[in-house]
Amino acid sequence: MSNSNSSNNLQNIESPSTINDTTIEDITCSPAVNTQSTIKNVLIVGDSMVQKIEAYRMKKSTKSNISVKSISGATSDGMQHRVRGCLADFQADKIIINCGTNDISNEVKPEKIFENIKEISKICGEDKEVIISGIITREDKYNKKIDRVNNLLMEYCENNNLLFINNNNITQDMLNRGKLHLRKIGITQLVKNFREAINL
């Protein structure tokens, strides 16, 4: 699979339910008219960073069936055990993985976070196109750790011909008061990054 690089930010390299201590939010939306053979089924799976993405707003600009599955509070390790269920619920052609944020402040080494996300990509990518979204930097002491994970992910994507979204256009002023999650403007930028990747 080959992807062209159309932006500096892209590197070619229904009801909530509870599972253990995490909550899965499931929002699926299909285009009103599904007559084109180019319609894609796109699954966005991630932690709470993707929770406020509105699938119905993405459908027209991507000409895709969009499903957003947010597993709030999930670490990259926890996501490995839940992602197969997300895949079973929605038959995706293309998958965007966005996780790792909940590992950063824990005693988890960057290399382990990377290995977990790599394993998620392998689970998802058996017969699908996989896009990895980098961990969003934030206003605390963990940015060096985030940079290390993202650099490993970028290298992995380059070596395996996967698309990597580095999200470096999501700036500190797009974070909320807690400086960990996104304000509305940050969600808007993340959606733009995802939309551009989907449309490649």
Higher pLDDT, 177 or 103: 103
Q: How confident is the model at residue 6 (pLDDT cuts 50, 70, 90)?
A: very low
pLDDT of residue 9: 67
Higher pLDDT, 52 or 21: 52
Higher pLDDT, 100 or 139: 100
Q: How confident is the model at residue 185 (pLDDT cuts 50, 70, 90)?
A: very high
pTM, two decimal places: 0.81
- Widest Cα–Cα separation across the chain: 49
- For 71-118, how does the pLDDT look when each residue is reduced to its tens digit (9 = 90+)? 988 999 999 989 989 998 898 999 999 999 999 989 899 999 999 999
| Average pLDDT rounded to a whole number, residues 172-176 | 87
Q: Percent of the chain having pLDDT more than 70? A: 80
| Average pLDDT rounded to a whole number, residues 65-72 | 92
Tokens of 77: 């390790």
In the CATH hierarchy, which top-level class contains the domain 10-32+39-199? Answer: alpha beta
pLDDT of residue 25: 52
* pLDDT higher than 50, residue 30: no
**Structural domain spans, the chain:** 10-32+39-199
